[in-house]
Amino acid sequence: MGVFDSGLGGLTVARALLNALPNERIVYLGDTARVPYGTRSAQTVVRYARGCSEILLERGVKGIVVACNTVSAVAIEILRAELDLPIIGVIEPGARAALAAVRALPALPEKLPKIGVLGTTGTIASGAYPRAVGQLSTRYEVVALPAPLLVPLTEEGWIEGEVPRLIVRRYLEPLIAAGASVVVLGCTHFPLLKNIIAEVAAELAGHPVPIVDSAEATAAVVAEWIADERLAPSLGEHTPAARLELLVTDLPASFSVVASRFLGADASHVTQVDLNAK
Ligand code: DGL
């Protein structure tokens, strides 16, 4: 399977895929030369997404997981129309997971809980989350707010301590004040800050707030597709070391440091690929 994101964030999805699909080989591409995507126009994101897909296609992947909410929000239909292989995004699985979380809350007779979403500026401006939730249920209101600074914070590996906590608080305050009862991490970089987000949301709300991460829900969709299409490699076809190939478009060394920390496994082999005119 091919998996791509603007940088490190999609590793949250790659990790869930490695757990859900023990025999599958994953080729992961982080477009570190052009991160962040979330502050760019839809047109630019489409162009970047085409380039990433091309690199993965050259490596012979059987499907592509768009491990990026921004690309899933603005470019996925274009990729699906242009490319002759299955393309799986993170927003629809994330919307399903959000509904499951909100439905699991204790029922309050006087009001329905709201679904809070934090994402990049591009994802929030696209309205993709309210749309995806609305296609599944019209009962719940979605409050979606941009939290763009969380992307460079995680790319820097700054995922603990006072600075991320203050920034997370600044973004969560209006979301909790608007009545969000669950918080959807609508950017694949944000699960790297999940502990801080959960702690600050609970402080602000005065009780624990469910935090929804689309990585596992996305991995479950991929696993179902592979099973339905009987595409699973035979047992032991790939040795554990060969199961994850890491590609970046710039600075492989610094990617490797944060990736190893995050994956909890060796990520020292990172190959830099050439974007050319992609
Ligand atoms: N991790 C990506 C997302 O889910 C992109 C973040 C960015 O590059 O701004 O939206």
CATH of the domain at 139: 3.40.50.1860
Chosen domain end from 188, 214, 240: 214
**Residue range of the domain that includes 83:** 2-89+216-272
**148 and 53 assigned to the same domain:** no
Specify the pLDDT at position 238. 62
Q: Are 178 and 225 part of one and the same domain?
A: no
Tell me, yes or no, whether 103 and 198 share the same domain: yes
Q: Is residue 10 part of a domain?
A: yes
Q: Write out pLDDT tens, residues 242-253.
A: 789 999 999 899
**Residues 156, 119 share a domain:** yes
What is the C-alpha end-to-end distance of the chain, expressed in Å? 21
In ligand 1, which atom is closest to the CA atom of 187? 4
Residue 82 falls within a domain, yes or no?
Answer: yes
Per-residue pLDDT tens digits for 120-170:
999 999 999 999 999 999 999 999 999 999 999 998 889 999 999 999 999
Confirm whether 278 is domain-assigned: no
Residue 277, domain member (yes or no): no
Q: Which range among 3-7, 83-87, 228-232 shows the weakest confidence by mean pLDDT?
A: 228-232
Q: Do the beta carbons of residue 55 and residue 32 sit within 8 Å?
A: no
Q: Is 69 within a domain? A: yes
Catalytic residue list contains 52: no
Question: Across the strands, what pairs with 37?
Answer: none
Three-state SS for 138? Answer: coil
Same domain, 133 and 24: no
Of the candidates 209, 148, 213, the residue with the CA atom closest to the CA atom of residue 179: 209
Write down the pLDDT at residue 8: 93
The total number of structural domains in the chain stands at 2
pLDDT at 163: 96
CA of 111 to the centre of ligand 1 (A): 33
- pLDDT category at 231 given cuts 50, 70, 90 is confident
Question: Do 99 and 148 have their domain in common?
Answer: yes
Return mean pLDDT, the chain: 93
Whether 64 and 124 map to the same domain: the answer is no
According to the model, what pLDDT value does residue 259 have? 87
* Ligand 1 pocket, Cβ-based, cut-off 6 angstroms: 5-6, 9, 35-38, 68-70, 120, 123, 151, 187-189
Q: Is the pLDDT of residue 240 over 60?
A: no
Give the containing element (helix H, strand E) for 159.
none
